[in-house]
Amino acid sequence: MAITPDGSTLLVAETYAFRISAFGINPDGSLTGRSDWANLGTSPDKVPAPEPAIQAAHPLPDGICLDSEGALWVADAGGDGALRVTEGGKIVGKVETPGLAVYAVALGGPDLKTLYMCAAPKLGISDPKVERRGYLLSREVDVPGLP
């Protein structure tokens, strides 16, 4: 999840629905009015089970973080990298992690231009009960994160 800098919108990654949803944040903290901030695949009426979602070959948004231009870095739990996505769902950048899915992202470092990615073998390819590997990866990006 991420909150826009003005505090008015909560963005939520819905992994198996292939979308980022936006909710208005009321002054009392309650949420209102879900809408699609970004749709990264066929929007299902009912969220599919994990296996069909993985096989659908759409990005599976997991962890997210906002950058200073209002784009989201999206961890693609079903792919092999992190995607930079603008409102409306346009993919404007990608950091590839061949053979590894990314499950969480954060922008940091001294200039907030280091994209940190938590990665592991791709879903459906390895059994996490047996193969317990995880990686912390980093990559310099052009647009900094938010302070």
Residues 6+ apart with CB under 8 A from 27: none
Q: How far apart are CA 64 and CA 145, in angstroms?
A: 12
Instruction: Return the residue matching tokens 């009321």.
Output: 26
Residues 6+ apart with CB under 8 A from 142: 113
Which of 38, 37, 58, 63 lies closest to 48, judged by CA?
Answer: 58
Show which residues are catalytic.
62
Q: How far apart are CA 21 and CA 65, in angstroms?
A: 14
